[in-house]
Amino acid sequence: MLTNRLNAQILLGLLALMPLALGLVPAARAGDAPAAMIVFDGSGSMWGRFEGEKKASKLDLARDALRPLLQKLPAGAKTGLLSFGHRRGGDCSDIEVLAPVAAGDAARIIAPLDKLNPRGKGPIAGALREAANALAGQSQPSILLIHDNADNCRQDPCEAAAEIAASTPNLKIHLVSLGLDRDELGRVACIVKSTGGTLFDVKDQAALATMLPEAIRQALLDTGAPQPAAPSPQAQAAKPSEPATPSGPPGLSLRARLAANSATLAIPIEWRITKAGATTPSATSTASTLTAPLDPGSYTVEAKVGFATASKTVEVAGPGPTPLEVSMEAAALRVIVKDIPDGQAAPNALVTLTPLTATGEPRPTLWIGRAQDADFVLPAGTYKLRASESLAASEAKIVLGPGTILDQNLLTGAGRLELTAVAKPDGEPLDGVTFLISKDDPDAPGGRREIARAASIRPTFVLPAGTYYVTARSGDIDVRQRVGIGAGDVVKRAVSLGLARLTVTADAGIAKKDASPAASKLPIAARILSLDGEPREIATTTAPTPEFTLAAGRYRIEAAIGAHNVKATQDVDIEPGANRRVALKLDASPVALKFTPPAAGGAPDLTWELRDAGGRLVVRTLQASPKLVLAPGRYQVRLDVNGQRLEKPLDIAADGQPRTLDFALP
């Protein structure tokens, strides 16, 4: 049964929009194609995050959400890109058109978008004026502002929007507002009100993923000025009452019906009573019925409920109130969105309501919002309904006659994919993993096209029935799976990344044996190389006891002391879910080189050089008394001092014992 809800709120922004299949909308003719300038906030605040978001900035989330939408636009769509605050800090004149408005490859928009590095102020008013100038001469222009703050350059964006509306009446400005509070939203709501655009109030990543596609669609495809969002009630029948015997002062007793033969409406109705020749109403009220005392004369009665309005002229004479019933010539509609006929309702699905002309042409969009709010009173006529939940959608054309009361089901045929990532089977869900969803597309590079992604610990994707490819990405590790989803299915999949933990320790064993342990303080560097396929470096560190998270596979672990020739290597196989510890022993001994200068003379000019048994240079230094850490072996030590050369052999055993080699001039 239909409810009798009537929300008396004027919507500041449309709620919880879900993606629309942009590619399904035919492109306009080139000469008449809509043109949109995308104004992308480049101010420093874009590095901030949504409340509760732990990792990604608003910049990254908005840019990642916008990129695939641009790639889906019809070939004839004319777009441009403008940014502000992206080049200089504290400069309110930092506004730049990064790509002029034109049709063509989305890459010319995406390339400068990817290079944005927010750093400065937010001159929104100036950016809107500059965007409007860049759209001059376009037949169907619009501006799409993606931002996360109100103007902070002491300019009035309301004034700028009013100027634009006056100079270019057909230019609409749509706002995608990222994480604005109530006061900030109030300061920018005037922009859409002045220009007939739409404000999308985005509070988190999920809302961004659902609202931005609709904002793009409106900016590039919906050219009619949207009607203001209105309360959407459902009609309830009430038993007609017997008219009372007229008595008392003259006036009006008002009731309303959906149609002449319908029951009296028992929901709030906006009444306005105006005497003939008057400019101000004699009475206004919001009530299901209204009795108003009036002077005798001719009056016009206006009634409004939901999107339906009606008026009627009546003579008031008395005695008592004159009864008047107004036929709204309207219908009551409730939209219910489900995946399948017997499935659960999807209250957060996006519903779009569009009136159609007698020839079937669409009029301006009348309403967009959540399915849970899709209760309407509408003028009798023909409408197109569209319901979408993420990438799944359904459409219906309905004809509503006067007095119709209809529950309309829209079936999206969607399924749900719930994902987690685990280090090993039966492991706990991992954080910090990005999930990518792709589908077959012969025109895409590699034959697959990414359609969605998420970085939450337990993301849910709503998808049309079909076959998809899931990629779970953690750092350099990608794990891919194929999954099939049917209409109404809830598919739960834990993707095992096959991760393992590796702890490395390395010990030269010389600290206790060197009476002067400066050499033992040299850092020990650990290096990890993957041996699966072509050897490649995975990580390096000088941490005392480093820990690495690795995919299962074969690895080589290397440890070295400083820049000397002390090294140790071990190859290991890492199993999924393993917690492996590898200890490397570095055979090394500390060596002190000393020179005893002659009793007379100044400071000597010294150059030390040490080479291994193969003649390879190990160390060259100008230090007076160098201290080294060397691997076992035979070395030749050369000292150049004051034009003379001294040489001595040096043997190092694998015992860690310190050694001293003295030199003196003959």
Output the DSSP codes for 111-175.
Answer: HHHHT----B---HHHHHHHHHHHTTT-SSEEEEEEESS---SS--HHHHHHHHHHH-TT-EEEE
Q: Is 12 helix (H, G, I), strand (E, B) or coil?
A: coil
Q: In sequence order, which residues have a C-beta less than 8 Å from that of residue 242 and are 6 or more positions away?
A: none
The pLDDT value recorded for residue 460 is: 94
Q: In sequence order, which residues have a C-beta less than 8 Å from that of residue 54 and are 6 or more positions away?
A: none
213 in a structural domain: yes
The pLDDT value recorded for residue 513 is: 45
The pLDDT value recorded for residue 486 is: 94
User: Is the pLDDT at 580 greater than 70, yes or no?
Assistant: yes
Q: pLDDT-based confidence at 445, cuts 50/70/90?
A: confident
Average pLDDT over residues 193-207: 85
H or E, element range at 206? helix 205-221
Q: pLDDT-based confidence at 232, cuts 50/70/90?
A: very low
Query: Whole-angstrom distance between the N-terminal and C-terminal Cα of the chain?
Result: 113
User: Is the pLDDT at 237 greater than 70, yes or no?
Assistant: no
Q: pLDDT-based confidence at 510, cuts 50/70/90?
A: low
Q: Apex CA 270: angle with CA 264 and CA 274, to 5°? A: 105
322 in a structural domain: yes
Tens digit of pLDDT for each residue in 331-347?
Answer: 999 999 999 998 889 99
The pLDDT value recorded for residue 32 is: 64
User: Is the pLDDT at 503 greater than 70, yes or no?
Assistant: yes
User: Is the pLDDT at 561 greater than 90, yes or no?
Assistant: no
Report how far residue 16's alpha carbon sits from residue 18's, in angstroms, rounded to the nearest whole number.
6
34 in a structural domain: yes
Asked if 460 and 416 touch (Cβ cutoff 8 Å), the reply is yes
Percent pLDDT > 70 in the chain is 89
Domain, as residue range, for 8 = 1-226
234 in a structural domain: no
Most confident listed range (413-422, 471-480, 547-556): 413-422
123 in a structural domain: yes
353 in a structural domain: no
356 in a structural domain: no
C-alpha to C-alpha distances, 463 to 395, 472, 486, 505, nearest whole angstrom = 16, 17, 9, 48
User: Residues 80, 187: one domain?
Assistant: yes
User: Is the pLDDT at 236 greater than 80, yes or no?
Assistant: no
Whole-model pTM: value is 0.47
The pLDDT value recorded for residue 610 is: 94
Where is pLDDT greater, at 188 or 238? 188
Q: Name the domain boundary from 441, 475, 496.
A: 496
Report how far residue 398's alpha carbon sits from residue 412's, in angstroms, rounded to the nearest whole number.
17
Tens digit of pLDDT for each residue in 107-152?
Answer: 899 999 999 989 899 999 999 999 999 998 888 899 999 999 888 8
Residue matched to tokens 């504290």 = 90
145 in a structural domain: yes
Mean pLDDT of the chain: 84
- Total of domains in the chain: 5
User: Residues 65, 167: one domain?
Assistant: yes
Average pLDDT over residues 34-40: 94
**What's the token pair of residue 160?**
């700028």
